[in-house]
């Protein structure tokens, strides 16, 4: 199978999804760049696009090489309420970096906004929409390909975001950071999807807060809600690259290990093969990741769905399918691991004999 698809005129996001094409999103920026020393935990704001552009560019490149064909602007929490006077420079620089890297492959640029810090305390629709509109003005000036409203705990605020983004005339995706229990006001996933679609989102789904299995369960409920309402929208999932079956309604942020002790929960590449296949079988065609989702996880999505896509990512040149490169190892017991059955059935140990397998959320 060929590595990478031959480049031609780039198709838009809806043209790709309408034709049944698999779109692979990118993965973790905040958590990954915090580990690399370029983001400060707490506010989780993306000054790195200005202060350390080479670090952000490198991570974009790693995701592109792994198979992502969407470069999302690193503009999480980059609204004026979080960044004050720095917001415009940050949004501008983030667009430039994403466009630069997207131009090196068959990738689209998505301008991203997220929930505001204001909504929980001041549900002022006009003020919140003004914040969204400021970022949108930068995305419009930079002519991104489409827009994503992501990481919303409350569907009301997500709908406001979609309504603003629709003013651009560009396609809009909207994802909630919720689990099967619904948003923080108790609105079910199905009803959230219906409201987002009615607001004008062409793509709906979930991102962050929950692991692969829980995220897909939530998307399934969204799909059911859309079907019951007679509405159509493309489905999208960008889960954590972590296992979090023990978290509550608020997701992984309520676990005692968040954010500095999550490493034992990291999904293997083989876990992500299953996530990609399960998502595809559910009818999801926009599949990516969020916090904890490293480039090798994105490569796992691209490799699992290579038969449907017709090509492998560049990063697969250094990765044998299902461990096949281990056939070259000098030790016979390691050569015996060069098969799919071995990795699919492995129950990996944590190496921590006095640690529990599950935690109790603080909330």
Ranges of each domain in the chain: 13-312, 322-347
Q: In angstroms, rounded to a whole number, what is the distance separating the alpha carbons of residues 246 and 175?
A: 22
Which runs of consecutive H residues, i.e. helices, occur in the chain? 13-18, 30-35, 48-51, 53-66, 80-83, 87-102, 125-141, 155-165, 189-199, 212-228, 269-282, 295-304, 306-309, 332-335, 340-345
**CA-closest candidate to residue 212, choices 122, 262, 151, 287:** 287
The predicted structure's pLDDT at residue 8: 65
Rounded to whole angstroms, how far apart are CA atoms 1 and 66?
Answer: 16
The answer to whether 208 is annotated as binding is: yes
| Gap between the Cα atoms of 175 and 235, Å rounded | 9
Q: Is 353 helix (H, G, I), strand (E, B) or coil?
A: coil
CA distances from 344 to 94, 266, 272, 355 (A): 38, 16, 11, 24
Contact criterion met (CB below 8 Å) for 60 and 71: yes
Q: What is the pLDDT of residues 208-226, one digit of tens each?
A: 999 999 999 999 999 999 9
How is residue 58 written in tokens?
């490198």
Nearest of 20, 76, 25 to residue 237 by alpha carbon: 25
Q: By the 8 A CB rule, do 44 and 28 touch?
A: no
The b/e string for 282-303 (b: 16+ C-beta within 10 A; e otherwise) is: bebbbbbbbbbbbbbbbbbbbb
Mind giving me the DSSP string for 174-242?
A: EEE--BTTBSTT---HHHHHHHHHHHT-SEEEEESSS-HHHHHHHHHHHHHHHHHTT---EEEEEE-SB
Q: Cβ neighbours of residue 104 under 8 Å, at least 6 residues apart?
A: 61, 64
CATH of 13-312, one of 3.40.50.720, 2.40.128.110, 3.20.20.330, 3.30.565.10: 3.20.20.330
- Joined together, the tokens standing for residue 260 give 């500095």
Q: Give the count of beta carbons closer than 10 Å to the beta carbon of residue 57.
A: 16
Cα 200 to chain centroid distance, Å, stands at 20
- Tell me how far apart the alpha carbons of residues 272 and 248 are, in angstroms, rounded to a whole number: 22
Q: Which two tokens stand for residue 279?
A: 């998502």
Annotated ligand binding at 290? The verdict is yes
Contact between residue 107 and residue 73 where contact means Cβ atoms under 8 Å apart: no
> Which regions of the chain are under pLDDT 70?
2-8
Sign of CA dihedral 126, 132, 135, 137: negative
Angle between helices 295-304 and 269-282 (to 10 degrees): 50
CB of 28 closer than 8 Å to CB of 241: yes
Provide the 10 A C-beta neighbour count for residue 357.
10
pLDDT at 43: 87
């Amino acid at each position: 199978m060929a590595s990478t698809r031959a480049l031609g005129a780039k198709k838009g996001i809806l043209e790709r999804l309408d034709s049944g094409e698999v779109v692979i999103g990118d993965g973790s920026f905040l958590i990954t760049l915090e580990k690399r020393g370029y983001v400060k935990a707490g506010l989780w704001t993306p000054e790195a696009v200005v202060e350390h552009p080479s670090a952000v560019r490198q991570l974009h490149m790693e995701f592109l090489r792994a198979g992502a064909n969407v470069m999302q602007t690193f503009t999480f929490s980059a609204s004026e309420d979080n960044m004050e006077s720095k917001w415009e420079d940050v949004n501008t620089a983030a667009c430039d970096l994403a466009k630069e890297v997207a131009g090196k492959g068959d990738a689209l640029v998505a301008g991203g906004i997220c929930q505001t810090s204001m909504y929980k305390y001041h549900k002022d629709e006009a003020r919140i929409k003004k914040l969204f509109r400021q970022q949108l003005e930068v995305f419009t000036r930079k002519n991104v390909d489409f827009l994503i409203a992501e990481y919303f705990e409350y569907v009301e605020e997500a709908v406001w975001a979609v309504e603003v983004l629709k003013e651009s005339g560009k396609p809009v995706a909207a994802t909630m950071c919720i689990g099967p229990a619904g948003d923080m006001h108790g609105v079910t996933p199905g009803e959230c999807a219906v409201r987002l679609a009615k607001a004008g989102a062409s793509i709906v789904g979930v991102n962050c807060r929950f692991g692969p299995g829980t995220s897909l369960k939530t998307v399934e409920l969204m799909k059911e809600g859309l079907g019951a309402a007679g509405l159509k929208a493309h489905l999208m999932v960008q889960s954590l690259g972590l296992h979090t079956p023990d978290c509550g309604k608020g997701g992984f942020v309520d676990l005692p290990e968040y954010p500095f002790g999550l490493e034992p929960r990291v999904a293997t590449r083989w876990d992500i093969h299953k996530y990609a296949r399960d998502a595809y079988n559910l009818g999801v065609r926009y599949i990516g990741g969020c916090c904890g989702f490293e480039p090798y996880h994105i490569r796992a999505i691209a490799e699992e769905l290579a038969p449907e896509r017709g090509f492998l990512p560049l990063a697969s040149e250094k990765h044998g399918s299902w461990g096949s490169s281990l056939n070259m190892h000098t030790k016979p017991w390691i050569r015996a691991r060069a098969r799919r059955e071995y990795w699919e059935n492995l129950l990996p140990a944590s190496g921590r004999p006095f640690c529990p397998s599950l935690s109790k959320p603080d909330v």
